[in-house]
Amino acid sequence: MKEERYDVVVVGAGPAGSMTAKKAAEHGLDVLLIERNQEIGVPVKCAEGVSKEIEQLVALDKRWVCAEVKGANIYSPDGTKVVMGGENMEEVGYVLERRIFDKFLASEAARAGAEVSVKTEAYGIIKENGYAKGVYVRCMGENKRVSARVVVGADGVESRVGRWAGIDTRLPPHNISVGAEFLMCNIEVNRDYTEFFVGSEIAPKGYAWVFTKGGNYANVGVGIGGDTSGEKHRAIDYLKAFARNKFPDGKVVAEMYGAVPLSGPLNETVGDGLVLVGDAARQVNPITGGGITYAMHAGGIAGDVVAQAVHENDVSKKNLMEYDRKWRKEFGKRLDTGLKAKEFCFNLSDEDLNTLAHSLADKRVTELTPWALLMALIKRNPRMLMGLAKVLL
């Protein structure tokens, strides 16, 4: 079997993997970034919305920004609208073109010195004395042994890399959001506001969304709790019903499917010779399902810590825990808050959701963050949301 050697091998060329590879390469490491699909950024498995926090991570490029939005409209089961918007846009500020954006990030990694290999699938991990020492890959029909000082798992939900290394990355259905999305044209769409729709008939334990993509195009999707999915009650079934009702004359030009972890982050995201980033580490806000900027933040931190560990010739779990500590300090509290809110909100009835929406129908929430919305709701509904207030405050 052919063998290749690197300082770092990154499995998965999404935002988390590409940012990790870029940062590690900038520190002078030999980095291999692999992607099992033949084209980076395809297939899209995302609503493509990101917060304006992305401006702190990468220079904006009009080639991969489809739209800038001012806020969000949230519709309760009975159609009551809650308006959110302002300068602080934590969850949605831009709608991306992920096919271009992901390629851009991978290109940035390549320009920094990383080697990028597509149609390259990891099928096992190399372990020596308890340490991850590389991965076995299959590329163009050829099997290879890729040795590395550090293995980075950026391979998405229920990371196989993490599982091969001994970390239990499996998730029960209630901690997964199963999503289906159409790219639709020939529709009238709000170009300034993203739109969200909640209710058990629309998306049980989840929500439907409409994100403008410019012109008369939009991402129209539904995410539901994995434990609510079943025959004739799959995400695609709810999506077809929603799209038919909302945009009867719209045309579907693409379909996308995926899953998002809603469990809160893994207890530990490192091992001996191993680091997990992005969805693989469950770095996703459980109340919204948003994870792009978290993944990019984590990737940048991971690249710095991995480079230092390699230069120090100490890639032990103890030394790599610096990554775990840093990313939790950066945004761990937001994910913990999102998990508490999710666990409370998923148990609300449609009647409860309508009551909450009515309480804010005459008020504009001037900060587009889950925290701001929850605080506004608690202020208007102290008795009803006493339980939520206790876990958040």
The reported pLDDT for the residue numbered 253 is: 96
Q: Which of 273, 327, 244, 21 is nearest to 135 (CA)?
A: 273
Domain 2-45+99-171+263-343 fold is FAD/NAD(P)-binding domain (3.50.50)
- The per-residue b/e assignment along 200-213, b for 16 or more CB within 10 angstroms, e otherwise, is eebbbbbbbbbbbb
Residue-by-residue pLDDT tens, the chain, 393 positions: 789 999 999 999 999 999 999 999 999 999 999 999 999 998 887 889 898 889 999 999 999 999 999 888 999 999 999 988 765 555 568 999 999 999 999 999 999 999 999 999 999 999 999 999 999 999 988 999 999 999 999 999 999 999 999 999 999 999 999 999 999 999 999 999 999 999 999 999 999 999 999 999 999 999 999 999 999 899 999 999 999 999 999 999 999 999 999 999 999 999 999 999 999 999 999 998 999 999 999 999 999 999 999 999 999 999 999 999 999 999 999 999 899 889 888 889 999 999 999 998 877 777 767 777 888 888 888 888 887 787 776
The reported pLDDT for the residue numbered 33 is: 98
pTM for the whole thing?
0.94
Residue 125, beta-bridge partner list: 135
SS3 per residue for the chain: CEEEEEEEEEECCCHHHHHHHHHHHHCCCCEEEECCCCCCCCCCCCCCEECHHHHHCCCCCCCCEEEECCEEEEECCCCCEEEEECCCECCCCEEECHHHHHHHHHHHHHHCCCEEECCEEEEEEEEECCEEEEEEEEECCEEEEEEEEEEEECCCCCCHHHHHCCCCCCCCHHHEEEEEEEEEECCCCCCCEEEEECCCCCCCCCEEEEEEEECCEEEEEEEEEHHHCCCCCCHHHHHHHHHHHHCCCCEEEEEEEEEEECCCCCCCCEECCEEECHHHHCCCCCCCCCCHHHHHHHHHHHHHHHHHHHHCCCCCHHHHHHHHHHHHHHHHHHHHHHHHHHHHHCCCCHHHHHHHHHHHCCCEECCECHHHHHHHHHHHCCCCCHHHHHHHC
Residue with structure tokens 């998923």? 346
The reported pLDDT for the residue numbered 365 is: 76
The rounded distance, in Å, linking the Cα atoms of 375 and 385 is 10
